[in-house]
Each structure stands twice: as C-alpha cells, then as structure tokens.
C-alpha cells in the first residue's frame, strides 16, 4: 500500500472497528429498561454458580421486582465499589448488593425501603483460639471496603486495640485469615454462614452486632420513576410469598446443614486443577477475550495518539513542544487506577454524560499508554544524529519531507522494540480496569474464586494464561528486532 494512503485507511479501519465493538443500546417500546449494578463476590446475595450464571437473593429479587412492576432490568456484576460509584455518577440506575442503609448513603443516594435485616459477626480460622473481641489486642483483622462490617470493625478498633486491613472483595478478606496474615475478619452474618456452609474453613465466634437493613440505592436521574416501583415491588413480593421463597431457596431454614443442602449447585464437580480448569474454561476464555479486545483496541488508539504527540514534541515550535511535554507529564504521572475512576465516574458526575465502561477503559489505556508511546517516539526521533536533518535540509528538503524520508526510517529501528514492549504493558494494565467493572481476565478469576474458594489454583491458571501470551509477544518482539536489524 502506498504511504500516502496508509494513515487514512488505518484511521477508517479503527473507526469501523470501534463502531462494531461498542455496545448498542436498544429500548423496548412498551417497557422501560433500567441498568442495575451489583457485586461479583457476595454469596448468597450475588454470585456465579457452577454454570457461571449469576444467581443469589439480590439477583432473584431484582428480577422478581422488575416482573411484578412491569419493567426490564439489565444486571451488571461490576463489583460493589464500581456499582456504587456508577450510581453516584448516574452511569447506572440502581445498585443492589447487600447494601446497608446508612445516614451517609441516604444523604447521597435515594434508598428503598428495607428488604433484608442482617448483623455483623466476627469469624476466625478453624482451630483458632481467638473467641472474643478482647483477644484481638495488638492483632490485625480483615474487612471489605465500603461495607457495614468494615464500618463496625473500624468503630471498635481503638477500643479493642486491633488494626484493620481492607480489601475490595470477600475472597481476599477470607484468604487473609486463612493464610494467617489476619487473626479474624468481620462480615455480614448470612454471608459468612453461607461461606462456611459451602466449604470455607472459618468459624463464627461472636453474636450478630449492629443489626442493620439492606436497601436498593437509586441514582438521582432515575429516583422519580424507579424508587416508587422498587418499593411497591418489595411490598408486593413480601405479601404474595415470593420474597420468602427466594430467601429460603438460598438460606433454607437458617441452619448451616440446610444451607449446605440448598446450595449444592454452587459447588464444582471436581476440585483438582484439571477439573477446575475444565469446568471454568469457558469463563476464563471469556475474560481473556475481553482482555485481548481491550488490549488490541487500546494499543491501536494509543499508537496513533502517541505518534502524533511524539511528533509534536520534535517539531520546531515551542507551543507544540509544550503541548507534547504537558501531555506526557500528566498522563504518565497519573496512576492508571486514578485515571480510570476519574474518566468513568468523575467526568459523568461533572457533565451528566454517561460513559460506557468499555469506552472509559479504552480512553484510560489510550491516554496512559499513549503518553508512554509519545515519550519513546520523541526519544527515538531525537536519538537520530542531528546532522541527518541538517544534511537533508541542505539538500533542499522541507522539514516535513526530511522528517518522513530521512529521520523517521532511522528512528523506527530504535522504536520498534519499545512498541512491542508497550503491547505487553498494555495487556497487563487491563487488569486494573476491573475497578470500573470490566469483566477482563483478572476480574473473571475473582468471580470464580468467590464460588469455589480455590484461590491458589485459579490464580495459577490466570497467571499461566498471562505468561503464555506474554511469552508469545516476547518471541514476536525478538523476531521483529532481528528483521529490523537485518
């Protein structure tokens, strides 16, 4: 392909590609559709069963309310923090995730009437001698961020002389105790009972404290029409017995033995490495597909942005160079997780414009990786002997043609290894986007572990998948470098 046609064709291809992968929203003519966020690891309220389908008290309840009140619901399992932030930013219509009704939350979000009463308990590793709060002095306990159990633990930490360590998902909280890094954890009673009934080697040692109620949080944009429907649905389901059927389905009569019997469907058919790999292969490949889609799309857009910014950094114009330097400084300096949250929740809060999570992820990676790409493009060009440009200009070539014909071909040889390495970095950076709810490979691993509690084996699988892909890319990098130097 001739060089003059290369960039127009590439840009057109990218635009077409993004248009294809961007989810298209459709709305029913007769029934409104609402997007509801939920947690990914909070059984028995929301979790993926052995068929990797989301089930649980909250999931069934939300679907029953929608059916009863005549609207459609799209449930997004994005994680507790991501769901709450999305609702605060009006990115989603509501969040149902075992969310305790508190004065602080009611001040920021519209909360429905209570639908479940719970309490906080302390659990320790089976065989532990710790049995009461007074034995925690000088020790560490684990909690999950943003939960009422974390609030309770922090409120009594000074009194009982312990310190807390916070995690984003329940599995890491439990693993912290099982590995001995923390002596205990605090969790909602039904969640902890369910975990123990399905194989978690912890035991509850305190009675429920700070009893509270769960509610559904509604976004400002939707509360006028959705809040009355939610409340009416809760009342109707409790009245006709549907609510009790849903709770009994997952918690039975409240005993651990009955919970274990009722929740056999969550258990894997085999807990060997190969058995787990076989039963979760489709889910892992789905996460890998999302990871690769994010990586390929982002590396294309980041390359375009990086090249343009890198070229701005070497043009003989102080303003253009300043723009390039500022871009590189800002987006290389910002932590990727902060940038992702700013784009996905910060900007919509300010502008009121919804940004889909996938698009927010691509923009995040494009800005961050584009800044690094711009830096090595600029460095590759400036690494070419300055006499090359002077010689080209002395022959009558204008600056643009001298750059295109003389400098860039030499600079590309310097840049090529960095391009391949940036692809690898982008692949690994996609794991951070789980914070905004994207179900890439790392987030998929968390979801699987929440069901089977096989953290070591599942993370080994995830690590091997990453290593295989990175090894292939490294081989590609070495091959390209040899071809370029030949």
- What proportion of the chain, given as a percentage, has pLDDT over 70? 81
Assess whether pLDDT exceeds 80 at residue 322: yes
Phi, psi of 403 (to 5 degrees): -65, -45
Q: Say how many C-beta atoms besides its own lie within 10 A of residue 425's C-beta.
A: 16
**Tens digit of each residue's pLDDT (9 = 90 or more) over 190-203:** 888 888 877 788 99
- Residue 361's Cβ-count burial label (10 Å; 0-12, 13-18, 19+) is buried
Tally of CB atoms within 10 A around 320:
15
Range(s) within the chain of domains with CATH label 1.10.3720.10: 273-485
What pLDDT is attached to residue 291? Answer: 93
With beta carbons less than 8 A apart as the criterion, state whether 229 and 65 touch.
yes
Q: How far apart are CA 38 and CA 55, in angstroms?
A: 11
pLDDT mean over 298-308: 89
Supply the pLDDT for residue 387.
60
In this structure, the dihedral spanned by the alpha carbons of residues 486, 384, 378 and 472, taken in order and rounded to 10 degrees, is: 10
Q: Checking DSSP bridges between strand 202-204 and strand 116-125, what pairing results, if any?
A: antiparallel
Q: CB neighbours of 85 closer than 8 A, spacing ≥ 6? A: 91, 341, 344, 345
Predicted pLDDT at 16: 52
**What is the pLDDT, as a whole number, of residue 385?**
60
> Rounded to the nearest 10 degrees, how much is the dihedral formed by the CA atoms of 82, 88, 94, 96?
50
Please tell me the predicted confidence (pLDDT) of residue 164. Answer: 94
Is the pLDDT score of 405 beyond 80?
Answer: no
Residue 216, phi then psi, degrees to nearest 5: -100, 125
- Distance (Å, whole) CA 361 – CA 364: 5
| Model confidence band, residue 373 (pLDDT cutoffs 50, 70, 90) | confident
Partnered with residue 117 across adjacent β-strands are 213
Mean pLDDT of the chain: 82
- For 22-68, the pLDDT digits (tens) are 444 444 447 789 999 998 778 889 888 777 788 899 999 999 999 99
pLDDT at 251: 80
Mean pLDDT computed over 388-408: 63
CA distance 418 to 437: 30
pLDDT of residue 98: 86
Distance CA 141, CA 183 (A): 6
Q: Which of 129-133, 239-243, 419-423 has the lowest mean pLDDT?
A: 419-423
Long-range contacts of the stretch 399-405 (C-beta < 8 A, 24+): 399/315, 399/316, 403/311, 403/314
Bridge partners of 259?
Answer: none
Beta bridge partners of 166: 143
Cβ–Cβ < 8 Å for 141, 420:
no
Reference 86, options 445, 335, 340, 291; nearest CA is 340
pLDDT tier, 186 (very low <50, low <70, confident <90, very high otherwise): very high
CATH annotation of 30-116+214-266? 3.40.190.10
- Give the pLDDT confidence score for residue 89 in this predicted structure: 86
In the chain, CATH 3.40.190.10 covers 30-116+214-266, 117-212
pLDDT tens digits, residue range 266-281?
455 556 888 888 888 8
Q: Under a CB-based contact definition with an 8 Å cutoff, are residues 194 and 80 in contact?
A: no
Let me know: does 409 contact 338? Beta carbons within 8 Å.
Answer: no
d(CA 322, CA 320): 5
pLDDT of residue 8: 52
Name the band, by pLDDT with cuts 50, 70 and 90, for residue 409. Answer: low
Give tens-digit pLDDT for 228-259.
Answer: 999 999 999 999 999 999 988 888 755 544 55
Query: With 80 as the cut, is the pLDDT of residue 485 above it?
Result: no
- Helix locations, 167-222, DSSP H: 170-178, 189-197
Assign domain 117-212 one CATH number from 3.90.1150.10, 3.40.190.10, 3.30.1540.20, 3.40.50.150.
3.40.190.10
Is the per-residue pLDDT at 303 higher than 70?
A: yes
The alpha helices in 204-252, defined as continuous H runs, are 223-240, 242-251
pLDDT of res. 3: 46
Q: With contact defined as beta carbons under 8 Å apart, do 122 and 132 qualify? A: no
How far is the CA of 454 from the CAs of 173, 249, 447, in angstroms? Answer: 14, 24, 11
Looking at residue 23, the DSSP 8-state letter turns out to be P
The pLDDT confidence band at residue 329, using thresholds 50, 70 and 90, is: very high
The alpha carbons of the chain give a radius of gyration, in whole angstroms, of 27
3-state DSSP call for residue 37? strand
Top CATH class of 273-485 equals mainly alpha
CB 32 within 8 A of CB 66: no
Judged by DSSP in three states, 303 sits in: helix
386 CB-near residues (< 8 Å, 6+ apart): none
Q: What is the pLDDT of residue 404?
A: 62
Ramachandran angles phi, psi of 16, nearest 5°? -65, -40
Residue 485 has what DSSP assignment?
H
The torsion angles phi and psi of 98, rounded to 5 degrees, stand at: 55, 45
Q: CA-to-CA distance for 194 and 46, rounded, in angstroms?
A: 12
Across residues 429-441, what is the average pLDDT?
85
Q: Cα(441)–Cα(295) distance, rounded to whole angstroms?
A: 12
């Amino acid at each position: 392909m001739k060089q003059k046609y290369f960039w127009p064709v590439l840009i057109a291809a990218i635009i077409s590609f993004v248009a294809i992968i961007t989810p298209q929203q459709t709305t029913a003519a007769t029934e409104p559709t609402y997007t509801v966020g939920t947690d990914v690891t909070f059984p028995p309220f929301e979790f993926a069963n052995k068929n990797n389908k989301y089930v649980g008290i909250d999931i069934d309840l939300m679907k029953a309310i929608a059916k009863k009140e005549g609207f459609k619901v799209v449930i997004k399992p994005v994680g507790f923090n991501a769901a709450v932030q999305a609702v605060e930013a009006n990115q989603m219509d509501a969040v149902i995730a075992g969310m305790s009704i508190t004065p602080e939350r009611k001040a920021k979000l519209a909360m429905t009437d209570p639908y479940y009463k719970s309490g906080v308990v302390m659990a320790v590793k089976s065989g532990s001698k710790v049995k009461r709060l007074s034995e925690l002095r000088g020790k560490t306990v684990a909690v999950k961020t943003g939960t009422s159990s974390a609030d309770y633990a922090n409120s009594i930490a000074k009194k009982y002389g312990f310190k807390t360590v916070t995690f984003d998902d329940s599995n890491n909280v439990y693993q912290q105790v099982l590995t001995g890094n923390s002596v205990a954890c605090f969790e909602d009673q039904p969640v902890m009972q369910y975990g123990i009934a399905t194989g978690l080697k912890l035991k509850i040692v305190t009675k429920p404290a700070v009893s509270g109620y769960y509610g559904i949080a509604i976004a400002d944009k939707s509360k006028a029409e959705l809040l009355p429907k939610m409340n009416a649905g809760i009342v109707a389901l409790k009245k006709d017995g549907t609510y009790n059927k849903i709770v009994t389905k997952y918690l039975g009569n409240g005993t651990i033995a009955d919970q274990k019997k009722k929740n056999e469907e969550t258990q894997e058919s085999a807990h060997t490495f190969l058995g787990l790999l076989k039963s979760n292969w489709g889910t892992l490949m789905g996460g890998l597909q999302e990871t690769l889609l994010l990586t390929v799309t982002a590396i294309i857009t980041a390359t375009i942005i990086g090249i343009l910014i890198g070229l701005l950094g070497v043009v003989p114009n102080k303003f253009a160079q300043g723009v390039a330097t500022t871009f590189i400084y800002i987006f290389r300096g910002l932590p990727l997780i902060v940038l992702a949250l700013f784009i996905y929740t910060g900007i919509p809060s300010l502008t009121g414009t919804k940004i889909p999570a996938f698009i927010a992820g691509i923009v995040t990676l494009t800005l961050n990786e584009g800044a690094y790409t711009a830096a090595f493009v600029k460095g590759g060009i400036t690494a070419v002997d300055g006499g090359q440009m002077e010689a080209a200009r002395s022959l009558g070539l204008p600056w643009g043609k001298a750059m295109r014909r003389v400098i860039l071909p030499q600079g590309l040889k310097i840049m090529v290894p960095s391009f391949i390495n940036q692809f690898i970095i982008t692949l690994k950076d996609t794991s951070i986007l789980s914070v905004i709810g994207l179900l890439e490979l790392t987030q998929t691993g968390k979801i699987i572990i929440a069901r089977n509690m096989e953290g070591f084996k599942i993370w080994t699988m995830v690590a091997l998948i990453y290593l295989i892909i990175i090894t292939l890319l490294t081989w590609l990098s070495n091959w390209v470098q040899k071809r370029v130097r030949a």
